[in-house]
Amino acid sequence: MPANLPPGLPIVPDGAGDSSGFDMSETDFEAAVSDALDMIPADIARAMDNVAVFIEDDYTPQPGEDPDTVLLGLYEGVPLTERDSWWDAGSLPDRITIYRQPILDICSSREDVVEEVAVTVVHEIAHHFGIDDDRLHELGWD
């Protein structure tokens, strides 16, 4: 797996050294995401509040973004550290999306996929807890 492709961060492929990636069924990929979620320690899982996890095939860049932007995962919502008393009043769940195809594209084996999914899930859950990319980098989660 190329070290220059950080999990859960926008990446712009350079086309150099393209590989065919790894082929995995949607069911097996969903199982990898489920297994990654099951690995989250119980006390952390209990602390997660109003967050849903989704799997999509690919990320569609938003207006104003580089059209070649690739994401492995995305957290959308209000981190726990930024919520106050108004937040519970009708707020939709936070959303974590894991993008299947970009992960498969950078992996060369089932083990690579399982590892990358786990790292990406942890990365996005960290954002739910208010941990930014700089801090994740300091902690070695990139």
Encoding tokens for residue 118?
Answer: 């786990």
- pLDDT of 83: 81
- pLDDT of 19: 55
- pLDDT of 17: 44
pTM of the model: 0.81
Q: Indicate the residue type of 110.
A: R
pLDDT tens column, 14-64: 443 445 789 999 999 999 999 999 999 999 999 998 899 999 999 999 999
C-beta separation of 46 from 137 below 8 A:
no
Cα angle value 52/37/41 (rounded, 5°): 115
pLDDT tens column, 56-98: 999 999 999 999 999 999 999 989 888 877 766 677 889 999 9
